[in-house]
């Protein structure tokens, strides 16, 4: 009798512990994941390496399917674009083709934020025609309000009539001196005043993280091309007077 009682107690404890562990380790139904898919193609003339995101775990499955289809690259267009690079070489002699390498097209991405409310991803595109001194590079972004299925505009994040463009512009220009301290190529370079001027089209490449608004500037926009894509992080705390708390902190970023 005593043995049976001990066995029952042991079984009950094991059951309680098992249920507790299941509750702790059970994945949240709110988790949204972004996986990395890729397409690669290599020929004697070119290399293509394209990464693109695919979302899973979104409660709104129809929207998830629409976005995943939208994120897939048009591979035929990419291939034709690369072949257009090569067209200029078609009628050149072997001697003229000396030093001409493969053309390249590459695209990578970084997920900055992913939840049931918001997806924010930055992309880096790079390409090379095979003969130039160096390749090209540019950034692009996607920001979706997943509660509405609409793309987010920068102005959506701020209070109406707030001077958010001026605030962002001032933040970058004030940061410029420390960013390129000791570099003689930057202080007299006029582009920062133009590329970071308080105009909407200067800040179209933005992404959202848990703590910061991140602005991406393409090469030559605010610095010489050799410096590549420039990125600045503006903490939400620095924007507290003008940010739309309801839309951003208590809305899109609320998990």
Q: How is 111-153 classified by DSSP, letter by letter?
A: EEEESSSEEEEEEEEEEE-SSSSS-EEEEEEEEEETTTTEEPP
Q: Name the least confident of 6-15, 43-52, 203-212, 239-248.
A: 6-15
Distance CA 194, CA 181 (A): 20
Across the range 130-144, mean pLDDT stands at 82
How much is the pLDDT for 27?
42
Distance CA 45, CA 26 (A): 50
- Cα-based distances in Å from 151 to 61, 142, 164: 17, 7, 19
Place of tokens 């249920």: 19
Tens-place pLDDT, residues 23-34: 443 444 679 999
pLDDT above 70: percentage of residues in the chain: 74
Tell me: pLDDT of 19 over 50: no
How much is the pLDDT for 22?
42
Q: Name the least confident of 99-103, 112-116, 171-175.
A: 99-103
Between 143 and 245, the more confident residue is 143
Between 184 and 236, the more confident residue is 236
CB 46 within 8 A of CB 60: no
How much is the pLDDT for 185?
55
Q: Is the dihedral of CA 130, 87, 224, 166 positive or negative?
A: negative
How much is the pLDDT for 226?
81
Tens-place pLDDT, residues 183-225: 555 545 556 678 889 999 999 999 999 999 999 999 988 888 8
Tell me: pLDDT of 114 over 90: yes
Between 35 and 14, the more confident residue is 35
Across the range 71-81, mean pLDDT stands at 86
Tens-place pLDDT, residues 51-68: 999 999 999 999 999 999
103-114, strands of its sheet edge to edge: 33-42, 46-56, 103-114, 118-128, 136-145, 150-151
Domains plus CATH for the chain?
A: 24-152 (3.30.565.40), 154-255 (3.90.640.20)
Q: pTM of the prediction?
A: 0.81
Tens-place pLDDT, residues 115-130: 999 999 999 999 876 6
| Residue 164 CB partners (closer than 8 Å, separation 6+) | 154, 155, 157, 158, 239, 242
Q: Where are the alpha helices (DSSP H) in 52-129?
A: 61-71, 75-86
């Amino acid at each position: 009798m005593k043995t049976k009682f001990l066995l029952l107690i042991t079984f009950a404890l094991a059951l309680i512990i098992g249920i507790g562990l299941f509750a702790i380790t059970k994945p949240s139904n709110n988790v949204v994941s972004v996986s990395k898919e890729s397409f690669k193609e290599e020929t004697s003339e070119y290399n293509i390496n394209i990464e693109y995101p695919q979302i899973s775990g979104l409660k709104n499955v129809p929207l998830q399917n629409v976005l995943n289809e939208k994120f897939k690259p048009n591979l035929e267009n990419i291939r034709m674009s690369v072949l257009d690079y090569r067209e200029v070489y078609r009628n050149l002699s072997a001697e003229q083709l000396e030093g001409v390498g493969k053309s390249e097209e590459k695209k990578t991405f970084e997920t900055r934020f992913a939840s049931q409310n918001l997806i924010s991803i930055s992309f880096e595109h790079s390409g090379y025609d095979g003969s130039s001194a160096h390749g090209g590079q540019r950034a692009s972004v996607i920001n979706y309000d997943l509660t509405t299925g609409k793309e987010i505009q920068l102005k959506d994040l701020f209070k109406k009539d707030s001077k958010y463009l001026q605030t962002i512009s001032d933040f970058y220009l004030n940061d410029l001196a420390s960013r390129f301290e000791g570099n003689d190529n930057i202080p007299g370079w006029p582009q920062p005043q133009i590329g970071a001027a308080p105009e909407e089209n200067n800040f179209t490449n933005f992404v959202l993280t848990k703590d910061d608004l991140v602005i991406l500037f393409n090469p030559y926009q605010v610095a010489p091309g050799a410096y590549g894509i420039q990125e600045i992080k503006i903490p939400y705390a620095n924007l507290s007077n003008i940010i739309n708390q309801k839309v951003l902190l208590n809305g899109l970023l609320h998990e």
